[in-house]
């Protein structure tokens, strides 16, 4: 899969938000999300906590902290942030950790908010 194949579009996200068969992870800082809001169904794991969350905490701790089951390495993950840069870094980190179904929303929150205002 090339990096282009790993990009999720706004239209994809509209279909995938709030689905249980994919985990959308917003890697912004909690203070950023408090100011802007987040994509429906997404959880917040700041980029600097991502490796610990995906690899070092157990299933119960993950569910307690993030409200969703801890993903196994084959579970689909989609990363978003403010502009797409941190989401791309999160994708690379998740791949390094062994996750093999990872994508990112290149437009991230900025595009999401703009397109929602247009509809």
Mean pLDDT of 21-36: 97
68-76 contacts: CB < 8 A, separation 24 or more?
A: 68/23, 68/43, 71/23, 71/99, 73/97, 73/98, 73/99, 73/100, 74/99, 74/100, 74/101, 75/22, 75/23, 75/99, 75/101, 76/21, 76/22, 76/23, 76/101, 76/102, 76/103
Catalytic residues: 81
Confidence check: pLDDT of 40 > 60: yes
User: What is the reported pLDDT for 4?
Assistant: 73
The CATH number given to whatever domain includes residue 28 is 3.40.250.10
Mean pLDDT of 18-46: 96
pTM of the entire structure? 0.95
The answer to whether residues 25 and 101 touch, using CB atoms and an 8 Å cutoff, is: no
Residue 14 belongs to domain spanning:
4-118
pLDDT at 89 over 60: yes
Split into its structural domains, the chain has a count of 1
H-assigned helices in the chain: 10-16, 30-36, 50-51, 59-66, 85-96, 108-118
């Amino acid at each position: 899969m090339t990096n282009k194949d790993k990009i999720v579009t706004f239209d994809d996200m509209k279909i995938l938000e709030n689905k249980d068969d994919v985990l959308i992870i917003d890697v912004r800082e909690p203070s950023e999300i408090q100011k802007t809001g987040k994509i429906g169904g997404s959880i917040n794991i700041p980029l600097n906590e991502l490796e610990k969350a995906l690899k070092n905490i157990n299933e119960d701790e993950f569910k307690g902290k993030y409200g969703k089951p801890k993903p196994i390495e084959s579970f689909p993950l989609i990363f978003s942030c403010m502009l797409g840069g941190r989401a791309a870094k999160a994708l690379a980190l998740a791949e390094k950790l062994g996750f093999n179904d990872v994508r990112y929303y290149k437009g991230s929150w900025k595009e999401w908010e703009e397109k929602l205002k247009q509809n």
